[in-house]
Chain A
Amino acid sequence: MRRAIVLPAIGILGLTMAAGCGGHDMGASSAKAKPLDGPIVIGMAVARSGFAASYDLGPSRGAELAVADINARGGVLGHRLELKYGDTKSDRALGTTVGIDLLSHGAEVMLVTCDFDLGSPAAIAATSKNVVAVSPCAGSSQFGVPTLGPLAYSLGTMSAAGATNVAQFAYDRGYRKAYLWRDPSVTHTKETCSAFESRFGSQPQAKVVGSDTIQQKDTSFAGQIARLRKSGADVLELCSYNPGAATALRQLRAAGVDIPVTSHVGMDGDYWLKGVPNLKNFYYDAFGSLYGDDPRASVNDFFSRYKAKFGEPAVTSFALTGYATIQVIAKAIETAQTTDGAALAKAIDGLGSYETIAGPTGFGAKQHIVTGRPAVIMGVEGGRGKPVATYAGGRKTAEG
C-alpha cells in the first residue's frame, strides 16, 4: 500500500521537478518568488478524528500556542500567521483530498500528521504544488528527501537516533544482555529495534541475547514472556506502541519479570499507566518532561501555558514539536521573505542548528528529519515518569 502511494508520488515529484527546472530552481526561486500578501495561511492536514487524532492533538495545540505568540509579537515580517484545519480522519486516502482542499483555500505551508504512513499523502499533495510540508513529529527515516522529495520535513527525532540514545543509556546503566520485543506493524518500531540492536550489540561485553515478535492486537504474550525469562537477559527493549505495548508490559510484570524495560518516545505520557499498576524500571526517550520537572525552564513554562489555555494538561511531550515546527517555519519565512516552496526549503536547510522549544533543530539539503536533538530519558517509578538523564547523538550530555 505504501509503495502504491509513494511510487506515483516520486513520479509526480520527478515530473514536477523535470518540467519546472526553471520555475523551481533552488538557486533562482527567491528572486522569482511571489511576495507575501495578507496573512500567511498554514494548512493543518491532521487527524482530528479516528485513532491518530490523539497523536495529532498535542502538536496541533502546540502550533496554536506558537502562532498566538508570534502574532502577539507582530507576526512574521508584519504578516499574521493563520492556521486552517482539515480533518484527514486518520485515513491515508483522505490525506490527499484534505491536502488539496487546504491548498485551494490558500495554504502556503502544510503541517501533516505525525506519522509517515498517514502524513505522506497530504505531504505529497503539498510538495507537488511547490508547497513545503512539515510533520511535527514523524520519526521514520522515510520522511526525508529520497522518499518525499526536497520540500518535505519532519521535526520528529529519527527513530534510529532515539533508539541509539536509549541503547547507550541502557549500556551506561550497566545492562549487558538485552532482549528485543519487535512489533513489525509500523516502520518506526522496526527501525527502533534495529538501531537499538546495532548500538547495544556493538558495545564492549554487551550482547543482544534474543528477540521475539509481538503483535499489536494480541491478547496474550505468555509465550514471549516464558522465552524472555529463559534467556537470562538483564534488560528488555520494547519496540512497540500502545495499546499493545501496555498490554505486553502489564502481562510481563504480572508474570513476575521485573527486569528493566527500555522503550521509545511513542510510550511518552501517563495516560496508559493505570493499566500497569505501580510500574517501575521503565525508561524511554522523550522530547521533554511534561510533569513540570524538565531541566529546561522554557519547557516547563510551555506545559503550564498549555494547561492554562486548553483547560487540560498535555497528554505527551509531542506537543513541543508543534510549537517548534511553527518556530522553524516562521524563521525560514523571515529569511526567505516568501513562502515559495523551493525558496522556503532552502531557508530551512540553511538555518543550521536552530534553537527551538524542543531543543536545537538542524536540517541539511539531504537531511530533512532531526537526528542530533537532545532527548530527555524518562524513568517511570511508582507509576510516574521523571527525567533521569539527557542524551544526544548517542552520548550522555546531562544528568536528570
Chain B
Amino acid sequence: MSAVAQNLINALSLGSLYALIALGVALLFSIMGLINFAHGELIMIGGYALLWFAGLPFAVTAVLVVGVVIGCALAMERAAFRSVRGATGETLLMTSFALSLLVQGGALLFEGADPKSVDVLGSLGASVEVAGVSVGKLDIAIIGVTAVLLLGLAWFLRATSLGVQMRAAAEDFGMARALGVRANLVVAAAFGMSGAFAAIAAIFLVASTGALTPAMGLKPVLVGFVAIVLGGLGRLWAAALGAYVLALLSVMLQAYLPDGVAPYRDALVYFGIVVILMFRPHGIAGRPGAVRV
C-alpha cells in the first residue's frame, strides 16, 4: 500500500513539472495556433540564467531568472513570430524550429557543449516521512507552486480584462480584433506568461537535476506537446490533465515493469498514449474543433 502511495506522490510531483511545461506551450497554441518548439530553449535559457545568478539570495535569483526568460520570450515574439502572425500552422512550426536551432546554437557558442552543473534549492534536498512514504521537500514545493499557478491562471483568465481578451482571442482571433481586442497586447501577454511558466519550470527542473546542457530543453518540450495532445488540444486545464496522466503512466510502468522490459518503458508509455487516442481521438478532455482557453 505504501509503495502505491509512494508512486502516486512521485507521479504527482513529476506531473506538476510536466504541467508547468505543458501550460507554457498550450497558452500560445490556444491563442495563436503556434506550436512553439523554441519553448524548450526558453527553459534552457532559464537553466543557464540560474548559473549566471548563482550566489545571490534565491529570491533575487528567481526574480532575475523569470525576468530574463520573459524578456527572451517577448523578444522571440517581436523578432520572429510577429511577422508571421496569421500564417499557416506549417509556417509557424518551421519558424519555431528555426528559432529553436538558432538559440541552441547560440548556447553552444557561448556556453560550450560541456554539461555544466549548478546547485539550486539545495536546502529543499531533504525528505520527510509521512505514514511510511518518503516525500521530498522539493516535491512538495513543485506540487504546491504548480497548484497555485494553475489556480492563479484560471482566476486571471476569468476575472481580469486582459484574461477575458485572451479567451476571446482564443475563440476567434479575427472577431476579437474586430471588437477592439488589441492583438499585440494579447499575444505579447501570452508570450510573457509562457515565458514565466518556462522560467519556473526551469528552476524546478534544474533543482531536480542539477545539470545544464544546451539541449536540455528538448525532452521537456516534447513531453509538453505530448501532454497537450493527450489532454485535449485547445483547453489549458486539459493540458495539465494530460501532463498528470503522462507522469502517472511513466511512474507506474517504471515501478512495475519487470527488469528485462524496463528499458522499453518510454515505448510502452507512448503505446499507452496511442491506445488512449484511439478511443479519444481529440484527447482525454478534447472536443472536435474546439479551441478554448
A247→B6 contact, CB < 8 A: no
Residue of B nearest to A226 (CB): B6
A243→B211 contact, CB < 8 A: yes
Binds B, one of A62-70, A132-140, A248-256: A248-256
CB neighbours of B119 from chain A (8 A):
274-275, 277
CB neighbours of A253 from chain B (8 A):
125
**Is B41 an interface residue, CB under 8 A from the partner?**
no
CB neighbours of A90 from chain B (8 A):
113
Residue of A nearest to B113 (CB): A53
CB distance from B31 to the nearest CB of A (A): 28
CB neighbours of A211 from chain B (8 A):
259
Binds B, one of A93-101, A215-223, A361-369, A385-393: A215-223
Complex: A277 Cα to B119 Cα, angstroms: 7
A50→B211 contact, CB < 8 A: no
Question: Count of A residues near B, CB < 8 Å?
Answer: 40
Interface residues of B in 65-102 (CB under 8 A from A): none
The secondary structure that dominates the A interface is mixed
A275→B127 contact, CB < 8 A: no
**Is A6 an interface residue, CB under 8 A from the partner?**
no
Complex: A220 Cα to B13 Cα, angstroms: 9
Known contacts A223-B255, A226-B3, A254-B126; A213/B263 CB under 8 A: yes
* Binary flags per residue of A181-222, CB closer than 8 Å to B gives 1, else 0: 010100000000000000000000000000111010101101
List the 8 closest A-B pairs by CB distance, nearest first: A275-B210, A275-B117, A243-B211, A254-B125, A213-B262, A184-B263, A247-B209, A222-B10
Ordered by A's residue number, 5 sampled pairs between the chains whose C-beta atoms are within 8 Å are A213-B254, A222-B13, A246-B117, A254-B127, A255-B127
Known A51-B113, A51-B215, A223-B7; further 20 A-B contacts with Cβ < 8 A: A49-B113, A54-B112, A212-B259, A212-B262, A219-B209, A222-B6, A222-B14, A222-B251, A223-B6, A226-B3, A226-B10, A226-B134, A243-B211, A243-B213, A247-B209, A251-B136, A271-B115, A274-B119, A275-B209, A276-B117
A contacts, CB < 8 Å to B = 49-51, 53-54, 90, 182, 184, 211-213, 215, 217, 219-220, 222-224, 226-227, 229, 242-244, 246-247, 250-251, 253-256, 271-277, 315
